[in-house]
Amino acid sequence: MATYKESGVDISLGDKSSEIAYAEAKKTFKNRKGMIGCPLTMDGGFTGALDFGDFYLVQNDDGIGSKFKIADDIGKYDTAGYDLAAMVIDDAICVGAECITVSNTIDTEKVDPVKIGKMMKGLSKACAEQKVVIPGGEIAEIPSMIKGTVWNSTAVGIVEKKKFIDCSKVRLGDALIGLYSKGFRSNGFSLVRYVLKNAFGENWYGKKFDAKKTWAETVLEPTQIYHSAVLELVGRYKKPRKIDVKGIAHVTGGGVPGNTCRIFKKTHTGAILDNLFEPPKMMLELQKLGKVSDEEAYTVWNMGTGMILCVAQKDVKKSLELLKKGGVKAQVIGRVTNKPTIEITSRGHNSKGKKLSFKIS
């Protein structure tokens, strides 16, 4: 039975490392006390926020991890920019922020202008669709330190203080709306590659998934960016808010329970997710190939739900209409409870219909 830990990734150690890193970061917050740019303390948040008077400036970082190795394996770079942009832009929107800029760093074993041109063209296109600019970046050729290429980015956004989403208004009975993801986004790829390598060998990326695509082409499904669609609900900077979105979770590392729980920590609530999307076929097939349990799949992959919004029941209909207008497939996937757990009705390969319970710590 394949697990994320077997593939080389230990989520618990990653979480502990994040706690250590943020504890050190918080020690610097006093450096701006009483000054412009004073930080908010946001343990477990998707982004960081700085006080700039009547608005917060937010900033966060991420990358596309080993998904890029697959792009390297088959020489396909045109959609990687969407993956990179989504990882940071859709973290910023979790507090209601409109993303303004995305900068990026490319650390590579060998500089290839053609490859970098394709990468940046994709990122430029993704940013244009979201009304985001790329103010600059950095390319480092470091053959003695790296094999392949690592692509990371930083997003900067702004949000009016009165529109800042801090999850403090989440209440029992509120609706949870899921935004569909037809691919892995950029998380859990160590397990994806581990399963496929064990099933098909080193050259797994050339194996057929179906009559049209190879496995590599399939798992490289570009990431849909939700930012602009969600801004239709919460409003761009200085624009009116149409929906009082109470909480947002971007389903990235940690899967569904590991990210959804962030919405509920402030109010000591939880969730029942009993109407999740049917996971994409590629995820179910990978579960089958690697004997990946449903519990493992939901804690490593998004399983078809890339973002979750919390709104009052009265706002559900309009929220779904606005998301549809923004080109995002969405549905009510559950509701807020007063129990500090995430309870999932599985739609995975192994135990469809089984109740999976994850405690919020």
* pLDDT tens per residue across span 282-295: 999 999 999 999 99
How many beta carbons lie within 10 A of that of residue 205, not counting itself? 21
Q: Which residues contact 113 (CB under 8 A, 6 or more apart)?
A: none
Determine how many CB atoms are found less than 10 A away from the CB of residue 117: 11
pLDDT for the residue 10: 87
Which sign, positive or negative, has the C-alpha torsion 316, 319, 321, 327?
A: negative
- Confidence (pLDDT) at 44: 86
Residue 14: pLDDT band with limits 50, 70, 90: confident
Domain ranges of the chain: 11-163, 175-359
Q: How many residues does the chain have?
A: 361
Residue 318 has pLDDT above 90, yes or no: yes
How far apart, in whole angstroms, are the C-alpha atoms of residue 270 and residue 167? Answer: 12
Sign of CA dihedral 318, 320, 321, 325: positive
CB 296 within 8 A of CB 256: no
Is the pLDDT assigned to residue 91 strictly greater than 90?
yes
Q: Check if the beta carbon of residue 286 is closer than 8 Å to that of residue 196.
A: yes
Same fold for the domain at 11-163 and the one at 175-359?
no
Of 242, 276, 265, 260, give the one whose Cα is nearest residue 347: 276
pLDDT reading at 51 higher than 90: yes
pLDDT at residue 11 is higher than 90: no
Structural element, H or E, at residue 102: strand 98-108
DSSP H or E segment with residue 255 = helix 255-260
pLDDT tens digits, one per residue of 211-264: 999 999 999 999 999 999 999 999 999 999 999 999 999 999 999 999 999 999
Predicted local distance difference test score (pLDDT) of residue 275:
98
Sequence-separated (6 or more) residues with CB below 8 Å from residue 188: 4, 253, 255, 300, 301
- What class does CATH assign to 175-359? alpha beta
User: pTM, whole model, 2 decimals?
Assistant: 0.96
Among residues of the chain, what percentage have pLDDT more than 70? Answer: 100
CA atoms of 242 and 240, how far apart (whole Å)? 6
Which residues, including other chains, have CB under 8 Å from residue 202's CB and lie 6 or more apart? none
- Answer for the pair 230, 309: CB distance below 8 angstroms, yes or no: yes
CATH topology of domain 11-163: 60s Ribosomal Protein L30; Chain: A; (3.30.1330)
Region of residue 304 (left: phi > 0; alpha: psi -120 to 50; beta: else): left
The CA distance from 284 to 273, in Å, is 19
Q: Closest by alpha carbon to 270, among 308, 244, 303, 226?
A: 308
pLDDT of residue 341: 97
The backbone region for 167, taken as left when phi is positive above 0, alpha when psi lies in -120 to 50, beta otherwise, is left
The b-or-e profile of 150-164 (16+ CB within 10 A means b, else e) is bbbbebbbbbbeebb
According to the model, what pLDDT value does residue 1 have?
A: 81
Q: What is the pLDDT of residues 117-151, one digit of tens each?
A: 999 999 999 999 999 999 999 999 999 999 999 99
